[in-house]
Structure 1
Amino acid sequence: MTQDEVDVDAVIRARIRGLRQAKGWSLDALAARCHLSPSTLSRIETGARRISIDQLVPIARALDTTLDQLVEPVDDADVVIRPRHDRGHGATIWQLTRDDGPHGLTVAKMRITRLTRPKRLRVHPGHDWFTVLSGTIRLYLGERVVLVATGQAAQFSTMAPHAIVAHEGPAEVLTILDHDGQRAHLDAVDLTPETSPRR
């Protein structure tokens, strides 16, 4: 076994043990669910036995996870989410999911400071959804103007010309965007790193 294989093996064992303990299951309880003996499962968790694929599949199923999730490599990417400033639209954005988010959706937190209606409303395929964390949002949907207050949410077709701005002061929203929404609202804007305020 190479060192990389040993490291991956150790991660898989730790994941099995961690998921089992998170469910509050004993070795006997998990063993019964995946049709292995408790001693075999114990040796798998402790490293006294090599893990085979025909054992991993029922273990993953019993733990309500997938084989891919059990064996995926440890991600050593930067875990800190840094704000980006959209200078053109008066917003600071924290993208909370990576580009390959689940089901093609992107989750982002936005702090919106712009108070005036943009000259041009956006149109793109799909739907947008947001909930207001603080403040009040003024949502432009074609000719309509809808106020969405703290604790309220909005969902709408983005084929309607639309824009969101703050109403009477900064507001923060949590938004879910589909692929088209991400391209229109995150990828196509002037995002630059947030700088520290001058002293």
Structure 2
Amino acid sequence: MREELAHVGARLRGARQERGWTLEDLAGRAGMSASTLSRLESGKRQASLELLLPLTRQLGIRVEDLLPGEPPDPRVRRPVIHREGMTIAPLAPESSPIRAFRITYQPRAEPPRQRVHEGAELLYVISGRLHLHLGERHLVLTRGEAAEFDTRTPHAMWAEGSRPAQVISMFNSEGARVHVHEP
């Protein structure tokens, strides 16, 4: 608990500075001396409800907002998707600005049709051989190779040969929507 209280001063200072207030501004509004507020913010004065309540009222926040919260669970717990000869394992939470997936492409007798959509894709081949049909070009990428392209260029991918190809792919949100959600 003592360790949690050590961060109260820094959070209090941050809330005050977000509003563009000086020590004197907030202290005056809360009915305390600027010296007391300064000592609270620097951790030289023990925080108490008696001191924090008038400050949080003036700042329009709750006392709980000054205490550190439990960090979110960093594990990604999203279902694997099986679609059109691919196994798509999400590597980031749905809310993440980075849309990363481990995609396993299966060999195919017939190549999939090329798609076009807004966005960009960056991919890295973990294992196997990936056939990338990009526009009029046919490229085969092997383990350790990467590619980045504008997804407005017609493109299709599949495993080259008789073994699956595993790839790490990163998309912007539009690219992720097209690859992960049913058409």
Q: Same fold (TM over 0.5)?
A: yes
SS in 1 for 2:149: strand
Q: Residue by residue, what CA displacement relative to the aligned partner does 1:66-107 show, whole Å, maximum 9, x if unpaired?
A: xx9x94554359x354652323x2111111111221xx3301
Q: Residues 72 and 112 from structure 1, CA distance in 2 versus in 1: closer, same or farther, beyond 3 angstroms?
A: farther
Q: Spell out the pairing of 1:146-161 with structure 2 (5 A cutoff).
A: 146-161=139-154
TM-score scaled by length of structure 2: 0.60
Q: Spell out the pairing of 1:46-57 with structure 2 (5 A cutoff).
A: 49-50=46-47
- Partner letter of residue 86 of structure 2? A
Aligned counterpart, 1:84: 80
Question: Does the CA contact (< 8 Å) of 1:134 and 1:150 recur in 2?
Answer: yes
In the alignment, does 2:126 pair up with 1:139? no
Aligned match of 1:95 in 66, 90, 93? 90
> 1: distance between equivalents of 2:156 and 2:69?
39
Question: Does the CA contact (< 8 Å) of 2:86 and 2:105 recur in 1?
Answer: yes
- Partner letter of residue 102 of structure 2? K
Structure 1 gaps, min length 5: 1-5, 14-35, 54-67, 190-199
Aligned match of 2:176 in 159, 182, 187? 182
Question: Does the CA contact (< 8 Å) of 1:83 and 1:92 recur in 2?
Answer: no
TM-score scaled by length of structure 1: 0.55
> 1: distance between equivalents of 2:153 and 2:173?
17
Q: Identity across aligned pairs (percent)? A: 30
> 2: distance between equivalents of 1:117 and 1:150?
21
Alignment coverage as a number of residue pairs: 134
| 4+ runs deviating over 4 angstroms | 70-73
SS in 1 for 2:104: strand
Question: Does the CA contact (< 8 Å) of 1:91 and 1:114 recur in 2?
Answer: no
Instruction: Please provide the CA RMSD for this pair.
Output: 3.6
